[in-house]
Amino acid sequence: MNYFPDEVLEHVFDFITSHKDRNSVSLVCKSWYKIEKYSRQRVFIGNCYSISPERLIARFPGLKSLTLKGKPHFADFNLVPDDWGGFLYPWIKAMARSRIGLEELRLKRMVVSDESLELLSKSFPNFKSLVLVSCEGFTTDGLAAVAANCRLLRELDLQENEVEDHRGHWLSCFPENCTSLVLLNFACLKGEINLASLERLVARSPNLKSLRLNRAVPFDTLQRLLMRAPQLVDLGTGSYVHDPYSEAYNKLKAAIQSCNSIRSLSGFLEVAPRCMSAVYPVCENLTFLNLSYAAGLQSIELTKLIQYCRKLQRLWILDCIGDKGLGVVASTCKELQELRVFPSDPFDAGNAAVTEEGLVLVSAGCPKLNSLLYFCQQMTNAALITVAKNCTNFIRFRLCILDPIKPDPVTNQPLDEGFGAIVRSCKGLKRLSLSGLLTDQVFYYIGMHAKQLEMLSIAFAGDSDKGMLYVLNGCKKLRKLEIRDCPFGDAALLEDMGKYETMRSLWMSSCEVTLGACKTLAKKMPSLNVEIINESEQTEFNLEDRQKVDKMYLYRTVVGHRKDAPEFVWLL
Amino acid sequence: MSPPLLGVEEEGQSSVSSPAVDCIPQNGLGIKEWNYLGLSDFSSVDSSGVACLSEDNKNNLNLKATELRLGLPGSQSPERKTELCLLNSGKLDEKALFPLLPSEDGICLPLQKSVVTGNKRGFSDTIDGFSEVKGTVYSEKNWMFHGAGLDSQSPQPLSHAKYSVAQASVKKDGPANAIQEQPCATNGTNLNRTGVFNNSSSAPAAKAQVVGWPPVRSFRTKTLATSSKNNDEVDGKQGPAALFVKVSMDGAPYLRKVDLRMYSTYRELSSALEKMFRCFTLGQCGAHATPGKEISSESKLKDLLHGSEYVVTYEDKDGDWMLVGDVPWEMFTETCKRLKIMKSTDAIGLAPRAMDKSEKDC
C-alpha cells in the first residue's frame, strides 16, 4: 500500500494509542509493520517472561514507555515463594546497553533491586516517570539514586511496595534545581523522612499535583505542605492525629480550605476521628476517596464524611462502614462507578461488618457502578440477582465471601444462580472473581454468557473437570485464568491445549492435576512454559508422574525457558 | 514440608493482634472422648502443644507437659518446627498408651480432663461439628469423606490425626485447623477444603486459616495490623478521642456518662448535664412533692445547675472533689475523672463560693 508517504502514515499512527490497535496495525503489511515498529513508543508486557529484553528492543527500538508485570497475581496472597522471579535488572541492563531513550517505567509485582534503580537513574537522561506497584527488593538507597540522578523526574509513584527503609535522606537527594515534580507518592514507606527537605521540595515544585505522604509525616507538616501546594489535585495524608482544639488544627482547616482543586483523597493510616471535620470542605468535589487504610475511623465518622461526597466516583473503604453505611453511600454517591470494600479483620470471618444487604443497597442507589471488589460475611442468590438487575454495566466484579465455601445462608444452596445472573446481565464483564459454595453449574453459565471475560479467579469451587472445560470452551476472550483448590484435573487441562496459546497465563494450585499431565502439555506445546512450583523436599526425580502437583503456572512465551528460575521451580 | 505451614503461619502472624485475645471462649465443655485409643487426650495435646513453645529440647517438653496450664493457647508463638510437632505426636502416643503411668508426667487421666484451655473448642467438638456437616447436602462430595477417615481406628490416620491435633494447639486460630493437616505428601487439597468446610457448618468460633485466603494483599494486612495498633495507642494518649467520665447525681438511681470532648465550654457541659438529668429532677419533683413549691418543669430545669439547688463537682486526678468552673476548660478536661451533681446543701463544706454560684457560669 503506497498511497501515502511514510511520514503521513506515522502521523496517522500517532493517533492510534491502544496497544491492541497498534498490534493490529502492524499486521497489515510489511510497510505498515515497519512504520509502526519505529514509531511505537509505549509497550505493555503483561508477563515479563513472555519475551526477552533483547527481543523487545529489537522489535521496538523507539521505545520510551515500558510497562512490565512479573509475578502471577496469586503471589499477592503468599502463594508464590519469594525468589520465584520477575527481576527488573536484565531489562534495565539491556535497555541501557542499547541506549533506549526510556522515559517511563511502570512495574507490577517485580523484583526491583537498588542496583537496577541506580543503573536506571544513570542510563536514561530523559527519564521522567517511575511507577512501582506491589514490587519489592529495593531500599530507600535506590530511591535516593533516582532522586539524585533523574534530572527531569516528574513522577515517583510507589504503591504498596515492600521497601526496606534505611532512613537515609533520600528526599534530600532531589537536587535543589529539581522543580519538575508532578507526582510524589511515598505512602508505603515505613520510616522517617526528612521533613525539612520535603517541605523545600514541595515548595519548589509548582507543578506538583499529586502528593501522598507516609505515616511519618505529622499533622503540622501536612498543614505547611498544603500552604505551599494549594494547587494539589490528589492528596494522601500522613499521620492525621491532633488535638482538634488546638491552633495547629485550625491552621490545617484553613489550609485545606485554600486547596480547592483536591479531587482525590487518601491516607489516614493514623487518624483522630475528631479531626475529620477539617476535610469536609474538600468532600463536595471529591471523585476518589480511599479510606481503606483508615482503621481508626468507625462507621459513624465514615458516613458523616461520605454524606458530603456527592460527586464521588470511586470509593475504597473498610467493611467497618457496615451495611447501613453503604446505604448512606447509595443515597449520596449517585455518580459512583467503582466500589471496593476491604475487610478490616480478614481472619475473623464472624465479625465482618458487611453482608449482601449493603451490596444490594449500593446497586440500587448507584446505577453507574461498573467495578466492584467486595469482601463480605455472606451473600445470597437473591441479592446477586437483584444486583444484576440493578447494575448491568459491570466490567469488574470481584466478590470475596470470607468463608470460602459458604452457601446462600437463606436457602442453603450454592451461589451458582446468583453469579449466573451477573454474567447473563453484564454483557461487558471483563473480570470476575468467584467465591462461596459453587458447583459446575456456575461455570456452565460463565462459559455460556461471559463472552467478554478476560480474567477469571476461582477458588474452592466446582465438582469436576466439566467446570473448567465450560470456561475454557466458552470464554473466547479469556486471557488469565487462576484456579486454586478446585477438583479440576488432567482431563480438563489437556482437552484443548491450543487454548493456552490464546491466553496470557494459567495458574492452578491445589487442584487434581498430575505431574504427568503437565509434562505432556509441556511437550506438546513448545510455545508454553509450564512451571511447577514445588516446595517440598522432593526433587524432580522422586516425584512420580501420577502424583498431583501443588502449584502449576503456565504461560505463553516466544523465548522458551527462562534462565533465572530458582531451584524450586521446575521448567518442564 | 514447611512452606505450606509457613504460609499459614504467616497469615497467623499477620493477624497477631486479634486471635489470641478475641478467641471466642467456647470451652471444650469437658473433653468429649476422642476414642481411638479410649482416651481423651486433647488436653494432653494442649499441654504438650504449649510445650512446643520452648525452643529447645525434649526435656523441656516433658516438664511443660506436667504443668496444668490454663493460659490462652493463642499466646503461643506461631513459630513451629515440624520436627517439634512430630516429636509431639511421638509423645502423645506414649501418653495415649500409658495413661496412668505415674508421673514423670504427673498427669493422669482425670486431670487431663480438667485442663481445658478455654478459648478453643476441643478437637472432638471439631469432629462433632464435622459429623453435622456430613449429614447435610454436601455429604455427596468425595472430599468430605476424608474427614470420615479421621474417625477410623487404623493406626495411620491415628498419627495423622495426632499430628493434626498437635497442629490444632499450635495454631492460634481455631480447631478447624485440626482438620487442616499438613501431610508429608504433596497433596494438600482435600485438607484445605475439609478445614474450610468445618468452618461453614459449625459455630462461629472456628476460623479456617487457609493459605492465601481471604485474598488480601499481605502489604494491606501488615499495614492494617500496624495501624490498628497505633490507633489504639493514639486514643490512649492525648486523646483527641472521646473522654467519657461518669456523672452521678444525688438521688438518681443510676449514673450517666458524658464525653467531655464533645464540649468546649462549661456552659455546654452544664446544659448537657441538664438535659441528661432532667428526668431525675422531674421525678424528684413528683416523688417528694416538695411542700410549698409549685414548680413548672422549666423553671426547675433552669434552677438545676445555674441556680442554687445543685452544684456540679468533680473528682480530680489527686482524688479531691473540686467545684466545677474554676480552671480553664482544657485543664478541666485533662484532670477531671468523674462528675458529681450534689445538692447545694451537701456541698457547703466544699466550696466557699457555693453561695455565689448563681453568678458563676458553670
Binning pLDDT at 50, 70 and 90, where does residue B213 land? confident
A9-18, A439-448, B202-211: least confidently modelled range: B202-211
Residues 79-98 in A contacting B (C-alpha not used; CB under 8 Å): 79, 81
- As a dihedral over the C-alpha atoms of residue A378, residue A382, residue A387, residue A389, rounded to 10 degrees, the angle is 170
Kindly state the percentage of chain B with pLDDT values over 90. Answer: 1
Percent of chain B as helix, strand, coil, to the nearest 5: 55, 5, 40
Q: What are the residues whose beta carbons fall under 8 Å from the beta carbon of A207, sequence distance 6 or more?
A: A154, A179, A180, A181, A182
Residues 124-143 in B contacting A (C-alpha not used; CB under 8 Å): 136-138, 141-143
Binning pLDDT at 50, 70 and 90, where does residue A168 land? low
Mean pLDDT of B319-340: 85
Q: Is A2 helix (H, G, I), strand (E, B) or coil?
A: coil
For residues A397 and A401, what is the distance between their CA atoms, to the nearest angstrom? 13
Binning pLDDT at 50, 70 and 90, where does residue A503 land? very high
Q: Output the pLDDT for position B44.
A: 42
Return the H-helix or E-strand segment holding A221: helix A219-228
Q: What is the pTM of this model?
A: 0.67
Query: Within A321-376, where are the H helices?
Result: 322-332, 356-365
Question: Which of B21, B139, B224, B262 to mutate against chain A (most A CBs within 10 Å)?
Answer: B224
Query: Within chain B, where are the H helices?
Result: 2-14, 19-22, 42-51, 58-66, 82-97, 109-114, 123-134, 145-151, 155-170, 176-179, 189-201, 218-236, 266-288, 297-306, 329-335
B291 CB-side CA count, 13 A? 0
Q: Is the pLDDT of residue A244 over 80?
A: no
Whether residue B189 and residue A511 make contact (CB cut-off 8 A), yes or no, is yes
| CA-based end-to-end distance of chain A | 44
Higher pLDDT, B90 or A7: A7
Q: Output the pLDDT for position B67.
A: 55
Q: Output the pLDDT for position A1.
A: 53
Q: Is B190 helix (H, G, I), strand (E, B) or coil?
A: helix
Higher pLDDT, A132 or B322: A132
- List the beta bridge partners of residue B245: B258
For residues B151 and B173, what is the distance between their CA atoms, to the nearest angstrom? 23
For A58, B252, B253, B270, B317, the CA distances from B249, given in Å and listed in that order, are 85, 5, 9, 13, 20
Q: Is the pLDDT of residue A467 over 80?
A: yes
Return the H-helix or E-strand segment holding A528: strand A528-533
Phi-psi sector, A87: left (phi>0), alpha (psi -120 to 50), beta:
beta
- Annotate A79-137 with DSSP letters as a single string: -S-TTS--BSHHHHHHHHHTT----EEEEES-B--HHHHHHHHHH-TT--EEEEES-EE
- As a dihedral over the C-alpha atoms of residue A289, residue A292, residue A296, residue A302, rounded to 10 degrees, the angle is 40
Instruction: Please classify residue B111 by burial: count the beta carbons closer than 10 Å to its beta carbon, then call 0-12 exposed, 13-18 middle and 19+ buried.
Output: middle
Residue in B with minimal Cα distance to A462: B141
Whether residue B228 and residue A79 make contact (CB cut-off 8 A), yes or no, is no
Q: Is the pLDDT of residue B93 over 70?
A: no
Whether residue B227 and residue A296 make contact (CB cut-off 8 A), yes or no, is yes
Q: Is the pLDDT of residue A156 over 90?
A: yes
Q: Output the pLDDT for position A360.
A: 96
Mean pLDDT of A55-60: 94
> Are residues A128 and A155 in contact, defined by beta-carbon separation less than 8 angstroms?
yes
Q: Output the pLDDT for position B320.
A: 87
Mean pLDDT of A188-206: 92
Q: Is the pLDDT of residue B299 over 80?
A: no
Return the H-helix or E-strand segment holding A34: helix A30-39
Q: How far does CA B328 lie from the centroid of its chain?
A: 39
Q: Is the pLDDT of residue A398 over 90?
A: yes
For cell 466557699, the residue is: B352
Whether residue A412 and residue B137 make contact (CB cut-off 8 A), yes or no, is yes
Per-residue pLDDT of B232-289, as tens digits, reads 555 444 344 567 888 888 888 888 888 887 777 788 888 888 877 777 665 544 444 4
Question: Does the CA dihedral B351-B354-B360-B362 come out positive or negative?
Answer: positive
Average pLDDT, chain A: 92
Residue in A with minimal Cα distance to B330: A245
For cell 528492543, the residue is: A57
Q: Is the pLDDT of residue A447 over 50?
A: yes
Q: Output the pLDDT for position B156.
A: 41
A307-316, A369-378, B161-170, B294-303: least confidently modelled range: B161-170
Average pLDDT, chain B: 54
Per-residue pLDDT of A214-224, as tens digits, reads 998 988 899 99
Q: Is the pLDDT of residue A303 over 80?
A: yes
Mean pLDDT of B27-53: 43
Binning pLDDT at 50, 70 and 90, where does residue A572 land? confident
Per-residue pLDDT of B271-285, as tens digits, reads 888 877 777 665 544
Instruction: Please classify residue B349 by burial: count the beta carbons closer than 10 Å to its beta carbon, then call 0-12 exposed, 13-18 middle and 19+ buried.
Output: exposed
B25-34, B194-203, B247-256: least confidently modelled range: B194-203
Mean pLDDT of A454-476: 95
Residues B168-183 as b or e (16 or more Cβ within 10 Å = b): bbbbbbbbbbbbbbbe
**Hey, what amino acid is at A49?**
Y
Binning pLDDT at 50, 70 and 90, where does residue A151 land? very high
- Annotate A255-315 with DSSP letters as a single string: HHHT-TT--EEE--SEE-GGGGGGGHHHHTT-SEEE-TT-TT--HHHHHHHHTT-TT--EE
Binning pLDDT at 50, 70 and 90, where does residue B197 land? very low
Q: Output the pLDDT for position A423.
A: 96
Q: Output the pLDDT for position A212.
A: 96
Shortest Cα distance from B74 to chain A (angstroms)? Answer: 14
Binning pLDDT at 50, 70 and 90, where does residue A538 land? low
Q: Is the pLDDT of residue B79 over 60?
A: no
For A277, B182, B229, B301, the CA distances from B268, given in Å and listed in that order, are 20, 62, 33, 15
Mean pLDDT of A423-430: 96
Q: What are the residues whose beta carbons fall under 8 Å from the beta carbon of B290, sequence distance 6 or more?
A: none
Residue in B with minimal Cα distance to A459: B213
Q: Output the pLDDT for position B147.
A: 36
> Are residues A9 and A26 in contact, defined by beta-carbon separation less than 8 angstroms?
no
Whether residue B187 and residue A484 make contact (CB cut-off 8 A), yes or no, is no
Tell me, yes or no, if B291 comes closer than 8 A to chain A by beta carbon. no
Binning pLDDT at 50, 70 and 90, where does residue A323 land? very high
Q: Output the pLDDT for position B139.
A: 37
Whether residue B217 and residue A406 make contact (CB cut-off 8 A), yes or no, is no
Mean pLDDT of A12-36: 89
Higher pLDDT, A557 or B283: A557
Question: Does the CA dihedral B79-B85-B87-B93 come out positive or negative?
Answer: positive
> Are residues A240 and A271 in contact, defined by beta-carbon separation less than 8 angstroms?
yes
Peptide bond into B214 cis (omega under 30): yes
Q: How many CB atoms lie within 10 A of CB A58?
A: 11
Q: Is the pLDDT of residue A567 over 90?
A: no
Contacts of A437 in chain B (CB under 8 A): 138, 200
> Are residues A135 and A104 in contact, defined by beta-carbon separation less than 8 angstroms?
no
Q: Is the pLDDT of residue A400 over 90?
A: yes
Binning pLDDT at 50, 70 and 90, where does residue A451 land? very high
Contacts of B143 in chain A (CB under 8 A): 487
Q: Is the pLDDT of residue B207 over 70?
A: no
Contacts of A536 in chain B (CB under 8 A): 1, 3, 184, 186
Q: Is the pLDDT of residue B26 over 80?
A: no
Higher pLDDT, B350 or A297: A297
Mean pLDDT of B35-59: 42
Cell of B276: 441528661
- Residue A403 has its nearest CB partner, among B10, B200, B221, at B200
Contacts of A165 in chain B (CB under 8 A): none
Higher pLDDT, B32 or A356: A356
Residues 369-428 in A contacting B (C-alpha not used; CB under 8 Å): 375, 400, 402-407, 412
Q: Output the pLDDT for position A352.
A: 59
Mean pLDDT of A125-146: 95
Q: Is the pLDDT of residue B292 over 50?
A: no
Q: How far does CA A162 lie from the centroid of its chain?
A: 15
Higher pLDDT, B314 or B225: B314
> Are residues B62 and B94 in contact, defined by beta-carbon separation less than 8 angstroms?
no
Q: What are the residues whose beta carbons fall under 8 Å from the beta carbon of B250, sequence distance 6 or more?
A: B340, B341, B342, B343, B346
For residues A503 and A114, what is the distance between their CA atoms, to the nearest angstrom? 33
For residues A454 and A502, what is the distance between their CA atoms, to the nearest angstrom? 11
Strands (E), A136-220: 136-139, 155-159, 162-164, 183-185, 210-212
Shortest Cα distance from A521 to chain B (angstroms)? Answer: 20
List the helix and strand counts (H, then E) for chain B.
15, 5
- Comparing CA positions, the residue from A168, A125, A113 lying closest to residue A149 is A125
For residues A419 and A341, what is the distance between their CA atoms, to the nearest angstrom? 19
Question: Does the CA dihedral A467-A472-A477-A481 come out positive or negative?
Answer: positive
For residues A223 and A226, what is the distance between their CA atoms, to the nearest angstrom? 5
Shortest Cα distance from B347 to chain A (angstroms)? Answer: 32
Per-residue pLDDT of B110-156, as tens digits, reads 444 444 444 444 444 444 444 443 433 333 343 333 333 333 344 44
For residues A73 and A532, what is the distance between their CA atoms, to the nearest angstrom? 16
For residues B277 and B250, what is the distance between their CA atoms, to the nearest angstrom? 11
ipTM: 0.89
Whether residue B208 and residue A403 make contact (CB cut-off 8 A), yes or no, is yes
